[in-house]
Every structure is written in C-alpha cells, then in structure tokens.
Amino acid sequence: MFQHVETAPPDSILGLNEAFRNDPNPEKINLSVGVYKDEQGVTPVLKCVKEAEKRLLEGETTKSYLPIDGRAGYNNAVRTLMFGSDHEVITAKRAVTVQTPGGTGALRVAGDFIADSFPGATLWHSQPTWPNHPSIFTAAGLKLKTYPYFNKATNGLDFDGMLGALQGAGKGDVVLLHGCCHNPTGIDPTPEQWKAIADLIQEKQLLPLLDFAYQGFGDGLVEDAIGLREVARPGQEMIICSSFSKNFGLYNERVGAMTAVAANEAEATAVLSQLKKVIRSNYSNPPTHGAAVVETVLTDDGLRKMWEDELTHMRDRINGIRKLFVDKISACGIDQDFSFIQNQKGMFSFSGLNQMQVDQLRSDMSIYIVGSGRINVAGISEANVDRLCEGIKKVTS
C-alpha cells in the first residue's frame, strides 16, 4: 500500500538540528533553529514558569476538556498584552481570541478560516519569510504572492519595493506581516514605515495578518507592539497569530492564540463561531497546560514582574551578543562590513553569507547556519564567538 510513498525532504531548519546532533566534532556550533540559549548554551525553563507550574499542580482539580476556543482567562490576557487594556479594540469588544497549539496552530487556524470565509483570497508574504508560512497557507488552500522585503545593497528594508508590490494587491487580499523581529532578516519597519503600511492597508482595503511570535525580544513588550497598534486603527479589521514559545520559553508546551479583530461586536461573534468550526475539524480543542502557565503569570502581579525581568534579561543578552559579535568580527580583520547586525531585531541575524559559504562553514568547521545565511544570535556565546569569527573569516576571504 505504501509502495508509492516517496521520502519527503527534511524541514530546512529543524533538519539541521538532527545533522548537528550527529556531528561528532566537540567544537561544533549550532546557530540554526530559533531557540533562545543562555551563556552556557542552555535553553532554560523560566523561573516564573516553574513557580506558576507549582501553583497549578497544587490547584488542579480536573483534566476534563477545555472549550473549543480554549481558556477564557488566557484569551483575555493575550488580547490585553497585545493591545493594552483600554484600547478601542478591547473596549468595543470587537476582538475575539482562540487558544491554539503554538503560533503554528494559530497560523493554520487563520489559513483555514480565510480559505473558508474568503474563497479565492490571495495571501501576500514577504520575500524572504519563515519557510513554514508558504507551507501552512498552501496547505490551507490559499493562493500566494510575495512582496520584496530585503534590500541586499543596504542590508535593510526594501520599503519602496514592499509598498510598490502591495499596491498591486486587490481589495480583500490578505497581507502577512511579521509583528516584530522579522524571521529571517531581523529587519523591522520603523514607526513611520508602519504608518505608511497601515495607510496602504486602509486605502486598499486589505486584510492584515500579523504573525506575532517574538513580542518582547526586540525592544520591549510595548515597543514591539507599535506596528500592531498602528494597524489596529478604529474600525480596521485584522488577524493576529501569537506565539509564547519564545518569550515564555514554552516551546514544547505549544502555546499560541489567534485573534480576529472585526468591525464590531456582532461580526466578531460570527467570526468566533467560524473559528470554532475550523478548530473542531482540526484538533477539536487545545491542550491546557502551557496556556494555564501563561495565564497564571500574566494575571499575577508578582509573577508578571518576574517574567518581564526574565524577558528583559534574554533580550539584553541577545543585544549584548550582537555587539560582541560585530566587535570580534572587525577585530579579527574581516574585510566585509558586518556592522548592520547590530541594527537587526530579535533572535535572528541575516548575515549576508551565501549558500556556498554556509555549506563550507558546516563541512569545514561544523558551524551550522540556515541556508539563507540566517544566524540564531542566541546560539553565540563568549565561549564560541572566536571560533565562529575564524570560520567566517575563512569563508569570506
């Protein structure tokens, strides 16, 4: 029966982890998958999470199913974290949130909802983007188009190219934006550029879909929501897919949410009913643990403060490493200018290294970087930065 089944290619990012694990070189360096690591190379469980888990374990009374849309307290806390409690979107009750298995689950629920309720819609995504974006939305049955994002000459945003392409989008088309910390480039629009993007969305009546997987990893919790809040103008409709994998370190607990902002409360209620229909035929209802942890932390003043401190620590370490990396690169006599790395936001850096250089780093030095040249900055430490720079010098000269 399975004779005709061919072997599928490995995931372009997660596949590298496996190759790394099998590499016997004791000096190997893994800068591939976007997982935060501390100075010792460990992906820690946050202290606020451990404390919340202790409380949950003591207070848990049932393992009965959650509602299809998940925990109401969690969904509420997610919305407030994105918009702030007094935002018009919240007070007008025109936003509905469903708890999902990770940000990936949120993206798939969004994709299925769009395919059902906006038949024939085209989704525009940045070129480049996270490779799972096209996979998820193609699987959901959407048509895809791309807009330029990265300007190779400046190592910055190709803003004119982006807006120019989106001028070609039709009414009701979906435009996928990274809320902050763009994956893979690390390049985000400035507040002024967000204004222009929001103007264009409004003028052309597009449906913005924000992938918000790194809130707090760029400049701060509120700062990273600037774009999202700019887009959420009075009456504007939008979809947001949240992930708490990174900012809570809850990767394997699968904690995410999909929020739909409708024009008014009645339409939001109808959208929620459609989202529940999509979920019912997909995974039925979400798992409770990770979302209960996030809800407990976000709604308790002490735990919330602990979380914000831990998140600040992760962000500061990444930014410190960016500086260390750039300093070390120039100190070791590499000709190429890598100073742009310090302007990039979040966990990733688009290094400018090409596929050949990436392949050589792996084969000669056991340094693992994604084929696009994307580096997980959090994988760099005082202990491996010199060897990394030595490798980059070798492949760039």
> Among this protein's residues, is 327 annotated catalytic?
no
Q: Provide the residue count of the chain.
A: 397
Integer Cα distance of 74 and 302 in angstroms: 17
290 is an interface residue for ligand PLP by CB under 6 A: no
272 is an interface residue for ligand PLP by CB under 6 A: no
How far apart are the two ends of the chain, measured CA to CA in Å? 52
* Site stretch for ligand TYF (CB under 6 A), options 7-15, 164-172, 309-317, 319-327: 7-15
116 is an interface residue for ligand TYF by CB under 6 A: no
* Site stretch for ligand PLP (CB under 6 A), options 101-109, 229-237, 333-341, 364-372: 101-109
Which pair of structure tokens corresponds to residue 395? Answer: 């492949």
When binding is defined by CB under 6 A, the residue of 36, 124, 130, 338 that contacts ligand PLP is: 130
| CA 260, 264, 267, 272 torsion-angle sign | positive
Nearest to 201 by CA among 176, 226, 180, 224: 176
Closest contact distance (angstroms) between CB of 101 and ligand PLP is: 8
Residue 122: Cβ-neighbour burial (10 angstroms; 0-12, 13-18, 19+)? middle
* Site stretch for ligand TYF (CB under 6 A), options 8-16, 61-69, 224-232, 311-319: 8-16
Other C-beta atoms closer than 10 Å to the C-beta of 11 total: 14
Integer Cα distance of 111 and 269 in angstroms: 19
The letter for the amino acid at 1 is M
130 is an interface residue for ligand TYF by CB under 6 A: yes
13 binds, among ligand PLP, ligand TYF, none (CB under 5 to 8 A by kind): ligand TYF
Integer Cα distance of 238 and 209 in angstroms: 6
Tell me the residue nearest to ligand PLP as measured from the CB: 102
Closest contact distance (angstroms) between CB of 273 and ligand TYF is: 30
11 is an interface residue for ligand TYF by CB under 6 A: yes
> Among this protein's residues, is 188 annotated catalytic?
no
390 is an interface residue for ligand TYF by CB under 6 A: no
34 is an interface residue for ligand TYF by CB under 6 A: yes
30 binds, among ligand TYF, ligand PLP, none (CB under 5 to 8 A by kind): none
* Site stretch for ligand TYF (CB under 6 A), options 10-18, 198-206, 325-333, 387-395: 10-18
183 is an interface residue for ligand TYF by CB under 6 A: yes
The one catalytic residue among 37, 211, 328, 345: 211
Please give the angle made by the CA atoms of 299, 304 and 307, to the nearest 5 degrees.
Answer: 140
Instruction: Say how many residues touch ligand PLP, by CB under 6 A.
Output: 12
Q: Which of residues 216-255 bind ligand TYF (CB under 6 A)?
A: none
> Among this protein's residues, is 394 annotated catalytic?
no
34 is an interface residue for ligand PLP by CB under 6 A: yes
Catalytic machinery residues: 130, 211, 246
Name the site residues for ligand PLP (rule: CB under 6 A).
34, 102-104, 130, 178, 183, 211, 213, 243, 245, 256
